[in-house]
Amino acid sequence: MDIRDIATRSGYGVGTVSRVINGQPNVSDRARKRILAVMEECGYEPNSNARYLKMRAQTSVAAFVMGVGNRLFDDILGPLQARLAEAGEDVVVTYLDDDALEVRAAIDYQQARHPKGMVFLGGEPRYFAESFHEIEVPCVLVTNSAAELGFPNLSSVTIDNESAAARVVEHLWEHGHRRIGVLGGNRASNGISSERLRGAERALRERGVELDLERDYEPCPFLESSGYEAARRLIARASDLTAVFALGDAIAFGALRAAADEGLSVPGDLSLVGFDDTSLSQFSVPRITTVRQGASLLADRSAHALLAAMREGAPATHEVVPFELVERESVRTI
């Protein structure tokens, strides 16, 4: 039993459940009573009572996790908590719904709980640009760059998403694929999905091909179910594709199931590449070729930046860590 089960049974989002568990404001009495009732029915016990949680939060690092569908964030969170624990720092985790405004949630948390520092696992740079100036404590944005935002208390640790996506297209091209589709994200965003899409477009353009965004690209959230539906639409519309680049592993898992339901084998009929190298990507059938971000490295460098800022007053840093294309079983040569 975890926070996702409580959300499902109560009928409220994980963000609302997380706020109730952490004793945060901005939850209606009705929602709070319902969630607490479900927690009691299920025997779900957060690790402490409300008074301890409040005291703990005031001496802790706050971690904000965007959504529950991105398995990469789960892979980062464990090592991040361990690294901070080694340094004597406790972490209070708040899960946010996929459509939540993460900076607004952090501002509210700061006012109510006064944490020592904050970590954002995921986030949209435009929301930081609009209102991050209200946050006073050291922070780190993980998996996206804050370098251009210029806030003195906001560090970031990420990979070069654009170059990594270009490497995926290069890999598919090397294996003979010329009809390559792209699946996932939102091209109107200025976050990681748009960076990855730009990388794919650039790599194709360098090879004399323009990505047809109306025919060969299908946007969707970073969820297995969304990847499934988006892949079915893309396959139906562009049946001559020989390869699909999914902008996240969760999307790739959904696409893998969609291909099977459409009577296509991977990689026999359709090659498939994911992104993130989440913990499940090596257990799918076939195992997914994907871009490895390195969850432990991201966690370690993020913890280092946050501790330096909190304890030594170190200025914000913006680190780009290496990525790796992990070749498995989902791409064939044609």
Higher pLDDT, 198 or 280: 198
Work out the mean pLDDT of the chain and round it to a whole number: 91
* Tens digit of each residue's pLDDT (9 = 90 or more) over 109-158: 999 999 999 999 998 888 899 999 999 999 999 999 999 999 999 999 99
Q: Starting at the earlier edge strand, list the strands of the sheet with 243-246.
A: 217-218, 180-183, 243-246, 271-273
Q: Note if the pTM is more than 0.75.
A: yes
Residue 51 has pLDDT above 50, yes or no: no
Instruction: Locate 257 and state its tokens.
Output: 């199931």
Higher pLDDT, 306 or 19: 306
Higher pLDDT, 220 or 5: 220
Average pLDDT on 261-279 reads 97
> Could you tell me the CA-to-CA distances from 67 to 95, 110, 143, 223, 264 in Å, in that order?
6, 20, 14, 10, 31
* Tens digit of each residue's pLDDT (9 = 90 or more) over 94-108: 989 877 889 999 999
Q: Would strands 271-273 and 318-320 be described as parallel, antiparallel, or unpaired?
A: unpaired
* Tens digit of each residue's pLDDT (9 = 90 or more) over 323-333: 999 999 999 99
* Tens digit of each residue's pLDDT (9 = 90 or more) over 221-265: 889 999 999 999 999 999 999 999 999 999 999 999 999 999 999
**Other beta carbons less than 10 A from residue 193's beta carbon:** 25
* Cα atoms in the Cβ-side hemisphere of radius 13 Å centred on 194: 12
- In terms of Cα–Cα distance, which of 84, 77, 107, 90 is closest to 2? 77
Instruction: For the chain, count helices (H), then strands (E).
Output: 12, 12
Residue pair 101/82 in contact (Cβ under 8 Å)? The answer is no
Could you give the domains of the chain?
Answer: 1-46 (1.10.260.40), 54-159+295-322 (3.40.50.2300), 161-292 (3.40.50.2300)
Query: Locate tokens 């999905």: which residue?
Result: 193
CA–CA gap between residue 100 and residue 98 (Å, rounded) = 6
Residue pair 281/275 in contact (Cβ under 8 Å)? The answer is no
In which band, very low, low, confident or very high, does the pLDDT at 55 lie, cut at 50, 70 and 90?
very low
Average pLDDT on 35-40 reads 89
Phi, psi of 95 (to 5 degrees): -90, 135
H or E stretch at 245: strand 243-246
* Tens digit of each residue's pLDDT (9 = 90 or more) over 156-188: 999 999 999 999 999 999 999 999 999 998 887
Give Cβ neighbours of residue 259 (< 8 Å, ≥ 6 apart). Answer: 231, 235, 265, 266, 269, 270, 272
Question: Over pLDDT 90: what percentage of the chain?
Answer: 72
Question: Over pLDDT 70: what percentage of the chain?
Answer: 94
Instruction: Locate 260 and state its tokens.
Output: 């099977």
Residue pair 140/120 in contact (Cβ under 8 Å)? The answer is yes
